[in-house]
Amino acid sequence: MSGPPGGPDREAGVLASLPPLRTGGRLGRLWDRVAGSDVDAAVIVEPANVRWLTGFTGSNGVVVVLGADEALLVTDARYEEQAPAQIGEAGCSGEIEVVVARDPAKAAAPRLGASARVGIEDRVAWGEQIRWSEAVTAETVPVSGIVERLRAVKDGAELARIEAAANIADGALASVVPMLRPGTTESHLQRALDGAIRSAGASGPAYDTIVASGPNAALPHAAPTGRRLESGDLVIIDVGALVDGYRSDMTRTFVLGDPSDRAAAMLEAVERSQAAGAAAVEPGVEAGRIDTACRSVLDGAGMGDAFVHGTGHGVGLDIHELPRVASGSAAALEPGNVLTVEPGVYFPGFGGVRIEDLLVVTDSGHRPLTLHPKTPLVPLPA
Ligand code: GLY
Ligand code: MN
Ligand code: MN
């Protein structure tokens, strides 16, 4: 979208400042996994996986992986020009051939003639799966997470986009802090955040922005309402931006004026829990240990039962992706993982507190990408 007449196009400016995304070579890394498994071709249907492999952003595309440098991107006539152009820009036209066809299964079948077993991503729609099993002579079997596990480690260009998104969300949140006053509605704050995100050059919010005040803050994924903020409220704001397909994710909790003793205890416990979880983030650590670190602080504060969701998740092309940060997650963290640490406590009828940072795992530890201060207190005029 272009900016106002004569005004700067901020989105173009943000994109111009980022290193180009190159997807060439990812197919070879995926093929290593396919070749080491019990299938001899793979069908990738998940849009974020298709984008990650090819650079193609259209709404309809299926990748048929046939070798380390041989794949088809099957799409429809609407994308006849866009698909080869994006594949070329991403640096993988030598390995991915565009096929324009209505039915990917029928179009790919002749190329799968020698395959005995074809793995299809298990997120395929029921009808589509039936078309594949009818069109190909090979046995079709479900495969799970083969691209997602590769996506969990970000390269520099991906990280630059996530970091740009995090910076934009930091700025958007700072711009609405002066509006945290009795009388402001949750939905007004949501619109202000989303507007600030777009004005700063992001494509939009990374997910439905959450503003939840007073008793509404007891709902972990509340939708903003017309409720007006009141003095003493806890206010949870969960905000992220979308930059060139990549997302950020951050939550801060504010309190309007003097907190009650109960609200102050919740804020203090969640802040300590979040700091303990973040401190555990380093290469080689099992993701479940971060969950344990957060949970043990809240257990010690007598609030463990009020922490009703997982501790975090990877973020990238999707808002929720690998690695999973929850009880029992055995995945060892690797440099390049981007993940959230977001403990929270929720008391129905009273309110809630959540603090969420987005971190990148580095060679020696981690680096936070979301930098807005965690200070919860918003002083009110006397
Ligand atoms: N903002 C969505 C989440 O934190 O999971
Ligand atoms: Mn999150
Ligand atoms: Mn969030």
Residue 356 CA: which ligand 1 atom is closest? 4
Cβ(197)–Cβ(55) under 8 Å?
no
Please tell me the predicted confidence (pLDDT) of residue 382: 76
CA–centroid distance, 348 to ligand 2, in Å, is 21
Q: Which ligand is nearest to the CA of 208?
A: 1
Instruction: Give yes or no for residue 4 having a pLDDT over 60.
Output: no
CA-only gyration radius of the chain, Å: 23
For 289-335, how does the pLDDT look when each residue is reduced to its tens digit (9 = 90+)? 999 999 999 999 999 999 999 999 999 999 999 999 999 999 999 99
Residues, CB-to-ion distance under 5 Å, ligand 3: 238, 249, 251, 356
User: Which residue owns the Cα nearest ligand 1 atom 3?
Assistant: 249
Instruction: Give yes or no for residue 115 having a pLDDT over 90.
Output: no
CA–centroid distance, 190 to ligand 1, in Å, is 15
Nearest Cα to 234, choosing from 371, 326, 347?
347
| Portion of the chain with pLDDT greater than 70, in percent | 98
Q: How many CB atoms lie within 10 A of CB 223?
A: 14
The predicted model gives 20-47 an average pLDDT of: 94
- Residues having CB within 6 Å of any atom of ligand 1: 207, 238, 249, 319, 342, 356
- Best probe residue, ligand 1, of 247, 252, 319, 322 (max atoms within 8 Å of C-beta): 319
- Best probe residue, ligand 1, of 194, 208, 221 (max atoms within 8 Å of C-beta): 221
pTM of the model: 0.96
Please tell me the predicted confidence (pLDDT) of residue 2: 46
Instruction: Give yes or no for residue 52 having a pLDDT over 50.
Output: yes
- State the chain's mean pLDDT as an integer: 95
The predicted model gives 195-216 an average pLDDT of: 98
> Pairing relation of β-strands 321-325 and 70-75?
unpaired
The predicted model gives 157-175 an average pLDDT of: 98
Q: Which ligand is nearest to the CA of 251?
A: 3
Please tell me the predicted confidence (pLDDT) of residue 289: 98
Least confident of 5-14, 125-134, 321-330, 370-379: 5-14
CA–centroid distance, 220 to ligand 2, in Å, is 11
CA–centroid distance, 72 to ligand 2, in Å, is 34
Residue 240 CA: which ligand 1 atom is closest? 1
User: Which residue owns the Cα nearest ligand 1 atom 4?
Assistant: 249
Residue 313 CA: which ligand 1 atom is closest? 5
What does the H/E/C string look like for 60-93?
CEEEEEEECCEEEEEECHHHCCHHHHHHHHCCCC
Instruction: Give yes or no for residue 229 having a pLDDT over 70.
Output: yes
Cβ(295)–Cβ(328) under 8 Å?
no
> How far is residue 352's CA from residue 376's CA, in Å, rounded to a whole number?
13
Please tell me the predicted confidence (pLDDT) of residue 70: 95
What's the token pair of residue 49? 């996986």
